[in-house]
Amino acid sequence: MILTNENAVKSVTEKAKGGVGHVSHLHFINAKNRPDSTRVAMAAINTIPVGSSLGFHIHDNDEEVYLILEGQGLYTDSNRQQYPVKTGDFTLARQGEGHALLNTGETPLVFAAVIVDSGK
């Protein structure tokens, strides 16, 4: 299966998950177009403008990975510890864990995000 950029759904979320500013999304998979028989619940490329953030949220029934594609930021893990992230870094929030992401750089923070159902 190939999911093309031309068919992806664009959206903007203000104060995403309680964060600051807004986050732009390019959803390849979401609740409206999720293929049958896949555990992938969401796949998107997201952009956080300078000074904006994706607020802390918990993944009760799924897991989420981020791959930082451009920029730099501050990643908060489930223990509320913060870590600098930059282009090429990869993060994982397992089922039951939480996370947040803040753009601390001087350019937009662009990252791929994939949510996978736990299957339980």
Alpha helices (H) along 1-120: none
Q: Are 107 and 89 in contact (CB under 8 A)?
A: no
DSSP codes of every residue in 2-30: ---GGGPEEEEEETGGG-SSEEEEEEEE-
From the DSSP assignment, how many helices (H) and strands (E) are in the chain? 0, 10
Give the C-alpha separation, 94 to 37, whole Å: 21
Read off the pLDDT of residues 24-46 as tens digits, 9 standing for 90 and up.
999 999 988 888 889 999 999 99
Residue 61: pLDDT over 70: yes
Q: Are 116 and 108 in contact (CB under 8 A)?
A: no
Three-class SS of residue 55?
A: strand
Q: How far is CA 81 from CA 12, 15, 76, 84, 109, in A?
A: 27, 21, 5, 10, 20
pLDDT at 120 over 90: no
For residue 61, the surrounding DSSP H or E stretch is none
User: What structural domains and CATH numbers belong to the chain?
Assistant: 10-117 (2.60.120.10)
Could you read off the pLDDT of 62-117 as tens digits, one per residue? 999 999 999 999 999 999 999 999 999 999 999 999 999 999 999 999 999 999 99
Residue with the two structure tokens 């993944």: 59
